[in-house]
Amino acid sequence: MHSPSSEHEALCRRCGRCCYEKLIVDAYVFTLAKPCIHFDEETRLCKVYPERHTVNPRCLTVAEGIEFGVFPADCPYVKGLRDYIPAVEGWLDDDIAREIEMGRLRTGEDVLVEMRRRIRSRKMES
């Protein structure tokens, strides 16, 4: 998920956080721990960048990314945008994704509560 214009590209910090899979649960867009298959986690860059929209039809343009809320809160593309709701990070894991699929977590709020609970318990374990 990067920009088609050099103006946008100059803003991008190449953090790569918009290139992780997303899960939409009612009004929330959650960022999963799993990256797009075309993303190189070492370099934090797209491996097919010039032809990304052909290779991956699900790769969004910047305008679409803003519309769907896939950028994190501190992404320069959405800085200062009024009414923009950023993607929730916290690296939703497979367990939570399964709970959502099985209908145990029904709303975005349910997912947030469960994410926070797991983050807290992970911190207590470490």
Binding site for ligand SF4 (CB under 6 A): 1-2, 12-19, 36, 38-39, 46, 48, 52, 56, 59, 71-72, 75-77
| Residue 109: C-alpha distances to residues 9, 22, 105, 125 (Å) | 34, 16, 9, 24
Among residues 25 and 60, whose Cβ is nearest to ligand SF4?
60
Read off the amino acid at residue 119. I
Among residues 32 and 118, whose Cβ is nearest to ligand SF4?
32
Q: Are 11 and 77 contacting, i.e. CB atoms less than 8 angstroms apart?
A: yes
Among residues 58 and 120, whose Cβ is nearest to ligand SF4?
58
Among residues 12 and 32, whose Cβ is nearest to ligand SF4?
12
Angle 47-61-24 from CA coordinates, rounded to 5°? 95
Q: In the complex, what is the shortest distance from the CB of residue 115 to ligand SF4, in angstroms, rounded to a whole number?
A: 19
Q: In the complex, what is the shortest distance from the CB of residue 33 to ligand SF4, in angstroms, rounded to a whole number?
A: 15
Residue 119 has φ and ψ, to the nearest 5°, of -65, -45
